[in-house]
Structure 1
Amino acid sequence: MQSLAPWMGILSWLWAAAVAAHPTPPAIWAESAMVKVRPETPPRFQPELELTAARNEFASFQVVLHGGSAGLRSVSASPPGFEGRRARIHGEDVLLYREALLDITTPTPPGTAGRWPDGLVPDVDEVVGEKRLAFPFDVPAGESRALWVDVHVPAHAPPGRYSGGVRLKGAGFVASVTVHLQVVDAVLPSTSSLRSAFLLWPPHVCRAFTGDPLCPVETQVRLLKRFHRMALEHRITLASGFPRQVDQPTWDLPDYDTFASRWGPFLAGRAPNRLSGARMTAMQYLGPGNGASLAEFQSQAEARGWLSRAFDYVGDEPPYGTSWAEATARAGLTRTVAPRLRTLLTTTVTELENHGLLEDIDLDTVLVNFIDGTLPPYVGNQRPKYDDFLSRPGRELWLYQSCASHGCVPGEPPLPENTPGQGWPSYMVDRSAAKARGMQWLDFVEGARGELYYQTVGLLSTAWTTQFRFNGNGDGTLFYPGLPSIIGGTTEVPLPSLRMKLIRLGMQDYEWLKLVSDAGDPGYARAVARQLIPHAWAVPDDGAAFDRARLLLIRRYQQLRPECAGP
């Protein structure tokens, strides 16, 4: 049989010659926030984009560049200003980032290896306002790269239609994309209606920014203030983000006046922030586990207006992270010496009842896999089981997600729920944008008043190169370290991940669900949410479905409040 090798060589040469004779031009287009742009994303034609937002809401979109056959060199961009009939949105209300790629070698089951967008390098950072190294950059031939644009609609912006364009230039080209923004006559609150306790371990911050996990308290204070600002601008609260004594799990607390001078502005809504007046919605007690310290904290927190948001985390996932005996003892102590300080435990109401803790736990914080599950004993909708507990004064249901949504142990078979088009909500890098936006919709439909996330800086020190932890990429890491050696400038700052932007979109979706409910149609809000996510394990991958559902809520709110229908 004659070898095909010579013919294959000729065909390859002919193909290369054809490509050279007909090169693919570069492409630049506007894209929604709900697409994760990977290098292999193909070019498309979409020179314009339509957005809708309330006042005091963030609207986000992307600008995507495909290199074509030759690539693009020395690309830079200018942030748009949005012009309306009576006002302009510009300056610090419009931020531009270059999306960095994380090279994933071990995917989150059942994900795909390769390069995924996640880190965001700002043109001008939102914390200290320094020019950074987002630009210029190159786009390799045959690959795509993306920019992320945040637009904060000022609370005083007149309703109406605004238009703006992102201008791009590089070696041999100038281009632009146009975005139209419809501002509706509604105002989102600066402080999130859904409470959150996203936790932060300061030694991880120290390691990332100083190389030593045991950095001085003064350094912790300086860095953590920047983290709190970043979190509040993304509508989440770093409930444990306070300095620790060096090499100790308890907080550094010289006295409560010093604590209040450092952290009171974040708790009271006086800290600088584009969301003017944004306050922390949760605060974890981090002092010694003795009666005197707990009682003093209750007294101080009550006097300073913090107590309604404070909690004592009495145990974690007993019997695994904490024994039932330890959780019972701590809850009993807190209830005795600080009865107005609320207690939080990560478990189910069934386990609370089995261990005699129904009277001692205020915030029952339940794994999302156990509120509407697929495995015994939590198959199906478990929410009615919580009604009696929630009828008691001061009781709340909170939800959280964990590695249980993808499998915590390498080598385990992928969860059957996580198939294309559906799956558990997930804050992993190598999941669809929709998965990161879905949790807050579930918080709403299940009647949860808050959301817990166990860690936000777990692998902060290696975030630019690897975040693989507990069998997931990004598990427990939502920030990036903005070191001058990496992003330019002179001041170190925390940087948001693309996932934090998507979480903020979910938090804003929660506000729209609540607005429609409070305006008189909670049934409609629940129906829209359930149509989008019929089960906790069935979050779709279709990002556009989230945008469509949100627009349904906006239109219904305008019907319920005709004075807010706008021009």
Structure 2
Amino acid sequence: MPSIRPLRLALLSLSVALPAFAASPAVWGEGLMVKVRPESAARSATEVRLTAARNEFVSFQVALHGGDSGLQGVRARLPSLEGPTKLQGPDVTLYREALVTTKKASVAGEPVGRWPDGLVPDTDEVAGEQRTAFPFDVPAGEARAVWVDVHVPKDAPPGDYTGTVTVEAAGGFQRQVTARLTVVDATLPSTSSLPSAFLLWPPHVCRAHTGREDCTPQELQPLLARYQRMALEHRFTLSSLFPRKPWPPAWSDFDATWGPYLDGTAPTRLPGARMTSLEYVGPLDAQNLRDFTAHMKAKGWLDRAYVQLGDEPPYGTSFEQVHATAELVRQAAPGLRTLLTTNSHEMGNHDLEGLVDSVVPLVNHLDGTEGTFRGDQRDTYTDFLKRPGTALWMYQSCMSHGCAYGTNAPENKPGAGWPSYMLDRSSAKARAMEWVTFLEGATGELYYQSVGMLSTAWTDQYRFNGNGDGTLFYPGTPAAIGGTTDVPVASLRLKLIRQGMQDYEWLKAVSDAGDPGFARKVARELIPAASRVPDDGAAFDAARLRLIQRHQELTAGAEPAPDAGTPPDAGSPTDPTDAGTPPEDVAEGPPAETPTVRPGEDAEAGAPTGGCTTGGGGSAAVAGSLLFAAWALAGARRERARKKVCQRPG
């Protein structure tokens, strides 16, 4: 028998002589729930599928991998989505995702390095100017992404819409990703049904955009108004962005600047969007409180105005100061709402129930894991809420990731943890807060700061032990993004907060249409407890689709079908930057007692203290949504509803 050794040697020589396989650059469609980091692997989905109501935003991504050669001079365009009408112009916006490099993780165990967050627009949504999103390069062996926003106008007919994102690069490189959008017969309100008060300290904006500390109101107010417009287009309100000096302001100037945002006449893409809160930021003395309240009442804005009694007593403010301020407000401005960041236990222990109108506990204290706050604490607010005019709001702080490094580790294990607005946490964490708010029966959301590190946002946002804590915007100076007009630039997290706000609208819509139990069931199956927010973007998208389907059944006359429970498992990836492998072709006191620093401001820096798919879930999320659609809508009686809600089979 002849030896096979020579044959083996020949084969070995042949294998050595063969050139290594060269990885080509790749472009693919991705949902909004995946953070495309430079380390992300290439995928192959050529479509994304989206579902939306009228007056709703949907988002998706077009991701690129440089392969072995890299890509130079990348540009992307999406002229329109066409269907029963054409969606184009300001309703379609493309952004380049800028990277922020973290040096220390917000939560131990999260990757340190480059994270996508700042969204440099192609044509910005505020001034309408061309910016420097394109062209850009994709290094060899790395990934980058383009973010796409689509706003469905209020008058857009329901139906199917299709658009093509074309990506081009040097050397004749061209790829396309198809976006298929189903618009259902429903309309989301322009003004969020969930009031919010996201705080903004104006000197931070002055410093970031001018390099100075002494902006005049004439310089600052137009810029602040642009920040308010962007906030309203992301369905939340910047409640404290008014310049503090001079005070009182010239009310005619105040009304001219802020009246359109309070009355719903500002030129936002959400027509009629109004601010849902307005903080008194003047001196805490009787005359100024009285004059402010009288003006708010005369203009019809008093129902949204409030004054903070303090910040997290006894840490930010003493309980004695809280009592003094509350009694002053009750005497001088009895119609002005009072707000305090505290919890039911402290409120009872310090006799504050009759002095506080809006109580705002931490999410960690409303559905907690430790001591007095272990388990759902909603019932401890029942008696307080019986008094007319009271409200329960909620907020998150550095306690979501750990105000001291490494704390809260038991909750922040892989696949779980608190809602969080940190840029190096999963997309699901940033989308979850409004779901938890709904589950707890809270009716508003507070966030302590939105521009805390605006001046260094492009390079460093590490604050209160978290990357992005209190910084949700980027300064869109001409030096940073081109153009001639200074504008705010959205973070990727703003888009996820907006998605959470829109999810809340669907939860409320199903409840208002007659099935609050279903809405609560869907939300609780998604988030078993506030400390157990999953990282699975597909689960969020599937839950949203269930809400849309149920709403269509309740409002379109289709015979309701019993909920069949949890949809088939589409995969639950634990890596917050990776939602799984896609299918091959589809991604789916009196003045003397008044402190010199207002509650919620830092004495040293003047900074507030404190601690079917919508383009979501990535490729696996979209695939999961398609799985869900096929599963949830099975049966002849549901066929009519299916045609109204979900995308067509792939």
Instruction: Answer yes or no: same fold by TM over 0.5.
Output: yes
What corresponds to 2:543 in structure 1?
Answer: 549
The CA deviation string for residues 501-531 of structure 1, in whole angstroms up to 9 with x for no partner, is: 0000000000000000000000110110000
Contact 1:205–1:213 (8 Å) recurs in 2: no
3-state DSSP class of the match of 2:393? strand
- Amino acid of the residue matched to residue 88 of structure 1? K
- Amino acid of the residue matched to residue 547 of structure 1? D
- Give the alignment partner of residue 552 of structure 2, picking from 543, 548, 558: 558
- Amino acid of the residue matched to residue 447 of structure 2? Y
| 1:230 is aligned to 2:230 | yes
CA separation of 1:563 and 1:491: change in aligned 2, threshold 3 A: farther
Contact 1:312–1:341 (8 Å) recurs in 2: yes
The correspondence of residues 180-219 of structure 1 with structure 2, limited to 5 A, is: 180-219=180-219
Contact 2:198–2:449 (8 Å) recurs in 1: yes
3-state DSSP class of the match of 1:155? coil
State the alpha-carbon separation in 2 of the partners of residues 289 and 397 from structure 1: 24
Shift of 1:254: 3.1
The correspondence of residues 257-406 of structure 1 with structure 2, limited to 5 A, is: 257-406=252-401
Contact 1:253–1:259 (8 Å) recurs in 2: no
- Amino acid of the residue matched to residue 187 of structure 1? T
Identify which of structures 1 and 2 has the higher relative contact order when contacts are C-alpha pairs closer than 8 Å and 6+ apart: 2
The CA deviation string for residues 186-218 of structure 1, in whole angstroms up to 9 with x for no partner, is: 000000000000000000001100111221111
- Give the alignment partner of residue 467 of structure 1, picking from 451, 461, 464: 461
Shift of 1:350: 1.5
What corresponds to 2:177 in structure 1?
Answer: 177
Contact 1:118–1:497 (8 Å) recurs in 2: yes
The CA deviation string for residues 316-372 of structure 1, in whole angstroms up to 9 with x for no partner, is: 000000000001110111112211111000001111111111001000001000001
3-state DSSP class of the match of 1:366? coil
3-state DSSP class of the match of 1:39? coil
What corresponds to 1:109 in structure 2?
Answer: 107
What corresponds to 2:57 in structure 1?
Answer: 58
Unpaired segments ≥5 residues, structure 2? 1-13, 559-640, 645-650
State the alpha-carbon separation in 2 of the partners of residues 17 and 562 from structure 1: 67
State the alpha-carbon separation in 1 of the partners of residues 249 and 167 from structure 2: 51
CA separation of 1:493 and 1:17: change in aligned 2, threshold 3 A: farther
Moved more, 217-226 or 459-468: 217-226
3-state DSSP class of the match of 1:178? strand
Shift of 1:17: 8.7
The CA deviation string for residues 256-282 of structure 1, in whole angstroms up to 9 with x for no partner, is: 222111110000001111000000000
3-state DSSP class of the match of 1:180? strand
| Percent identical residues | 61
Shift of 1:299: 1.2
State the alpha-carbon separation in 1 of the partners of residues 545 and 324 from structure 2: 48
State the alpha-carbon separation in 2 of the partners of residues 16 and 478 from structure 1: 53
State the alpha-carbon separation in 2 of the partners of residues 31 and 80 from structure 1: 19
CA separation of 1:16 and 1:261: change in aligned 2, threshold 3 A: farther
- Amino acid of the residue matched to residue 493 of structure 1? V
CA separation of 1:559 and 1:30: change in aligned 2, threshold 3 A: same
CA separation of 1:107 and 1:15: change in aligned 2, threshold 3 A: farther
CA separation of 1:535 and 1:414: change in aligned 2, threshold 3 A: closer
Aligned residues: 546
State the alpha-carbon separation in 1 of the partners of residues 413 and 251 from structure 2: 50
3-state DSSP class of the match of 1:538? coil
What corresponds to 2:570 in structure 1?
Answer: none
3-state DSSP class of the match of 2:503? helix
What corresponds to 1:418 in structure 2?
Answer: 412
State the alpha-carbon separation in 2 of the partners of residues 223 and 15 from structure 1: 64
Shift of 1:563: 5.6
CA separation of 1:17 and 1:415: change in aligned 2, threshold 3 A: farther
3-state DSSP class of the match of 1:156? coil
State the alpha-carbon separation in 2 of the partners of residues 519 and 253 from structure 1: 45
Shift of 1:15: 11
TM-score by length of 1: 0.94
CA separation of 1:15 and 1:35: change in aligned 2, threshold 3 A: farther
What corresponds to 1:6 in structure 2?
Answer: none
Contact 1:80–1:167 (8 Å) recurs in 2: no
The CA deviation string for residues 445-465 of structure 1, in whole angstroms up to 9 with x for no partner, is: 111111000000000000000
The CA deviation string for residues 452-497 of structure 1, in whole angstroms up to 9 with x for no partner, is: 0000000000000000000000000000001111111111111000
Unpaired segments ≥5 residues, structure 1? 1-13, 246-250
- Amino acid of the residue matched to residue 533 of structure 1? I
Moved more, 255-264 or 435-444: 255-264
State the alpha-carbon separation in 2 of the partners of residues 453 and 273 from structure 1: 22
What corresponds to 2:85 in structure 1?
Answer: 87
The CA deviation string for residues 292-328 of structure 1, in whole angstroms up to 9 with x for no partner, is: 1111111111110111111010110000000000011
3-state DSSP class of the match of 2:265? coil
The CA deviation string for residues 142-188 of structure 1, in whole angstroms up to 9 with x for no partner, is: 11000000000000000001011101111121111001000000000
State the alpha-carbon separation in 2 of the partners of residues 385 and 175 from structure 1: 57
The correspondence of residues 435-454 of structure 1 with structure 2, limited to 5 A, is: 435-454=429-448
CA separation of 1:322 and 1:171: change in aligned 2, threshold 3 A: same
State the alpha-carbon separation in 1 of the partners of residues 141 and 397 from structure 2: 36
What corresponds to 2:96 in structure 1?
Answer: 98
What corresponds to 1:525 in structure 2?
Answer: 519
What corresponds to 1:74 in structure 2?
Answer: 73
The correspondence of residues 16-35 of structure 1 with structure 2, limited to 5 A, is: 21-35=20-34
CA RMSD of aligned residues (A): 1.5
Moved more, 320-329 or 71-80: 71-80
State the alpha-carbon separation in 2 of the partners of residues 561 and 278 from structure 1: 24
3-state DSSP class of the match of 1:21? coil
TM-score by length of 2: 0.82
| 1:407 is aligned to 2:402 | yes
State the alpha-carbon separation in 1 of the partners of residues 209 and 463 from structure 2: 20
Shift of 1:252: 4.2
State the alpha-carbon separation in 1 of the partners of residues 270 and 329 from structure 2: 34
Contact 1:119–1:464 (8 Å) recurs in 2: yes
What corresponds to 1:4 in structure 2?
Answer: none
State the alpha-carbon separation in 2 of the partners of residues 15 and 496 from structure 1: 51
3-state DSSP class of the match of 2:361? strand
